[in-house]
């Protein structure tokens, strides 16, 4: 059986990417997001952790990009994570007129 961490070289390399994602500038984060997504399960674990830890802070485009990438993944664990922790996306859309923006938000996230 192939270890998914071999894609990044070793566990230390993926830990380094995790630290860079957390501590890096938005420019660094922008470069790391697709790189982590390309690593498979190990990268998705880091992206989920990052998004989860930021759930109480105002969303940025980085959060939106990570949400979008996770939404496009075919991993059941990732889809369950999004449904559990971000059922309405990363940006709460409140309506004074009781309009349900969820279908629009989902279409935008899926780039439909």
CA distance 110 to 97: 25
**What mean pLDDT value characterizes the chain?**
84
Higher pLDDT, 52 or 9: 52
Q: Looking at the chain, which runs of residues are DSSP E strands?
A: none
What integer pLDDT is reported at residue 5 of this predicted model? 40
Query: Any idea which fold 4-109 has?
Result: 1.25.40
DSSP state of 90: S
Q: Is the pLDDT of residue 27 over 80?
A: yes
Distances (CA, A) of 66 to 9, 33, 34, 43, 92: 23, 7, 9, 11, 16
Question: What pTM, to 2 d.p., does this model score?
Answer: 0.78
The band of 11, judged by pLDDT with boundaries at 50, 70 and 90, is: low
Q: Which residue in this structure is represented by tokens 């759930």?
A: 55
Q: What is the pLDDT of residues 94-109, one digit of tens each?
A: 767 777 766 666 766 6
């Amino acid at each position: 059986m192939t270890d998914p961490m071999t894609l990044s070289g070793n566990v230390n390399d993926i830990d380094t990417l995790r630290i860079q994602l957390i501590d890096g500038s938005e420019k660094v984060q922008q470069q790391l997001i697709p790189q982590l997504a390309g690593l498979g399960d190990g990268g998705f674990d880091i992206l989920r952790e990052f998004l989860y830890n930021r759930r109480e802070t105002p969303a940025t485009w980085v959060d939106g990009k990570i949400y979008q990438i996770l939404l496009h993944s075919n991993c059941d664990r990732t889809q369950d994570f999004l449904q559990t922790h971000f059922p309405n996306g990363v940006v709460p859309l409140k309506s004074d007129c009781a309009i349900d923006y969820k279908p629009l938000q989902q279409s935008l996230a899926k780039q439909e």
